[in-house]
Structure 1
């Protein structure tokens, strides 16, 4: 085991040296997380309910645990706001939630603008990664399919699952960087957790044309045996999506009959940490920064405090924005 650990560290060091030789490796990555309109349950226990958007604190902790900092992305801003973020941040995250993925919601409208800016920056040679989780995954499929919804109804809320690996899964950024023991945990244990009512079936993934741009890396099955896409990544661009929630495994602790499937085993937490570390490393390959330290400081999530919402919602804590 000691020899194996030394070998792993040596390989890692070689990879990092290679990466550093090709990129301006950023040791202070900042990731923007898109906010969304809060549900009544989130606001229920608060005296002041005059908030227009929120981010679950578990997403913030997830990426902070991997050595990144977070900027909250507000809704209903002009395009200049989102364009400036695309020029100054090192990565974007579309989180899960319960909002529309279309322009009918602030989440969907902002997501569409950010997605276009991500495509534009990458087309100009700027390595700007994007990750979508659950609803965010679904929004990426919607936007990538020309704003057409190919999702199917499924029954996969409060369900922990292993991943079923797709053919050619190793031909991907994600799995070439995933240690063998993490692959074992993810594929043999109920190490991922799902909370969704809509999903992308492998058939629709193909019919929609998404398979021309994205690699289907893994699938899972809902309570009725319906197979759906659990993990994907873009063929050429640093765009990734998971239908499962890695952030919930280490950081969400609701334990009623709607949330008790969240796995908290060391193995499941190891899988979750891999995905946080993977995306933070993707963000480190982007060297953008704010024009001044003052602008950076004013944008960071440290300017806000999390609210305890576990008694009324499925989140332990949330950040709220006006």
Structure 2
């Protein structure tokens, strides 16, 4: 496995050289966020429950706060739909949630297609970034490991934590661009919000072959002192993943016993804003756009209104789609 992985990484590194030589910039980045099937708790307070997918509004606000616009990506569409978006968007996000990361769910099936399209685009010389958060991080590990699960059960729901950085963490795109004070916040303070029951341990990160293609940048510990991968980035392609939720620090406010650990300090908000800014800047390095202003306008999240769902779910607001 290691030999094949090393060869693949060498090819990807060569492709990245081409990417860096060819990408252009946009000051109007548009990021696609993948939707997923809504839970009963999200729909509970709504009179009309005839919706097939949702996106938590906190993800939309997170990237809008960094100067990007958002397109919702629907599930259960044909390949042509995702192929079209891969030609016109400047970046993709796999958000957190509670769906299956396999093709048995609309989220998993669409994620597999988008992951394939992102890799193919980058190998062609199109700089097309992808970020996975929590469930999205887990789906990245599943897809990158040949659609095999290497996740371990863990106890890290409603937990604020710091990041334990790797020895070579500064040899990364994420940390080399991070201001010194923000690095101090993530290393010394509990500024990351964690809501997950599955973890990628450092041991499984290596055994799965992921270490041949991704850099393990930081770990955290669950309530039982199990160490798990908290942050990673691809060695060559603009693919990034965090097990924690940067968007919650700024935009999720439920304060019951299941949500009272979300850090809202100025330092935690600064950390969250950095991650939003970082990925928006990655998206700016792609100059794709929709063929017409009409098509762009029709695709944007502005065509939808968020629903207030905090009384029944952990999200303050969600966008719902038919």
* TM-score, normalisation: structure 1: 0.93
Provide the residue aligned with 1:49 in structure 2. 49
- Report the alpha carbon displacement of residue 21 of structure 1 after superposing the two structures with TM: 9.9
Provide the residue aligned with 1:25 in structure 2. 25
Provide the residue aligned with 2:139 in structure 1. 139
Counterpart CA distance in 1 for 2:155 and 2:24 is 44
Alignment of structure 1 residues 102-181 onto 2, 5 Å: 102-181=102-181
Could you give the per-residue CA deviations for residues 96-125 of structure 1, whole angstroms, max 9, x where no partner exists?
A: 000000000000000000000000100100
- Report the alpha carbon displacement of residue 24 of structure 1 after superposing the two structures with TM: 2.2
Two-structure CA RMSD over aligned residues (Å): 1.0
Q: SS at 1:183's partner residue?
A: helix
With over 3 angstroms needed to count, the CA separation of the structure-2 counterparts of 1:139 and 1:21, relative to structure 1, is closer
- Report the alpha carbon displacement of residue 25 of structure 1 after superposing the two structures with TM: 1.7
Answering whether residue 200 of structure 2 is matched by residue 200 of structure 1, we say: yes
Provide the residue aligned with 1:88 in structure 2. 88
- Report the alpha carbon displacement of residue 23 of structure 1 after superposing the two structures with TM: 4.3
Answering whether residue 196 of structure 2 is matched by residue 225 of structure 1, we say: no
Provide the residue aligned with 1:60 in structure 2. 60
Provide the residue aligned with 1:3 in structure 2. none
With over 3 angstroms needed to count, the CA separation of the structure-2 counterparts of 1:179 and 1:298, relative to structure 1, is same
Provide the residue aligned with 2:299 in structure 1. 299
Counterpart CA distance in 2 for 1:98 and 1:288 is 31
Q: After the TM superposition, which parts of structure 1 deviate over 2 Å for at least 4 consecutive aligned residues?
A: 20-24
* Structure 2 residue runs without a partner (length 5+): 1-19
Contact 2:23–2:127 (CA under 8 A) maintained in structure 1: no
Contact 2:23–2:126 (CA under 8 A) maintained in structure 1: no
Counterpart CA distance in 2 for 1:157 and 1:151 is 15
Counterpart CA distance in 1 for 2:75 and 2:25 is 30
Could you give the per-residue CA deviations for residues 140-169 of structure 1, whole angstroms, max 9, x where no partner exists?
A: 000000000000000000000000001110
Provide the residue aligned with 1:214 in structure 2. 214
Q: SS at 2:195's partner residue?
A: strand
Contact 2:23–2:125 (CA under 8 A) maintained in structure 1: no
Aligned residues: 303
Contact 2:51–2:320 (CA under 8 A) maintained in structure 1: yes
